[in-house]
Amino acid sequence: MIDQLLFMLTFLSAITSGLMAGFLFAFSVCVMKALSRLPPAQGITAMQLINVVVLNPLFLSVFVGTAAVCVVLGVSSLLMWHQPDALYRLTGSALYLVGTLAVTIAFNIPRNEALATVAADSADAAKRWQQFLREWTTWNHVRTAAALLAAAMFTVAVRVFAA
């Protein structure tokens, strides 16, 4: 029973980590590049709106729900270390929790909050926008890679479990 639950949670985490990796990847390679080509006032306004709209139940349930499942998988991996898939579950969980969730909290959210206070037509808006684009996108690359690697580790864990 516990093994089946862990298998299902690992499978779910592989999917949702991959979903988050794709979402973050699209921001890095498309959305932020498009916003950077707009005049600063328009780019700032668009990103401010994105930061409001993204805080919706569907996105948050995947983003935070994956983190919650990772906590369960990480703890279970430590408690059931003898299982051949435990290392992969633990590694996937750590990658998602540290590289995706913690990076978001420590680096991306503070930048979003700072950008929310910028008046798009202010004298220093263009300078602040360029700094935001550079820093936010760099940390988004980190989140993307971490989520993708987490998805890979969970996929390997599913394969090892099924073998």
**Residue 163 confidence (pLDDT):** 85
Count of C-beta atoms within a 10 Å radius of residue 124 = 10
**Residue 12 confidence (pLDDT):** 98
22-to-7, 54, 102, 150, 161 alpha-carbon distances in Å: 23, 15, 18, 12, 25
**Residue 66 confidence (pLDDT):** 98
Output the tens digit of pLDDT for each of the chain's 163 residues.
Answer: 899 999 999 999 999 999 999 999 999 999 999 999 999 999 999 999 999 999 999 999 999 999 999 999 999 999 999 999 999 999 999 999 999 999 999 999 999 999 999 999 999 999 999 999 999 999 999 999 999 999 999 999 999 998 8
In the chain, where the domains are located: 2-162
The vertex-17 CA angle with 112 and 90, nearest 5°, equals 110
Going by C-alpha positions, the residue among 104, 48, 95, 105 that lies closest to residue 74 is 95
**Residue 1 confidence (pLDDT):** 86
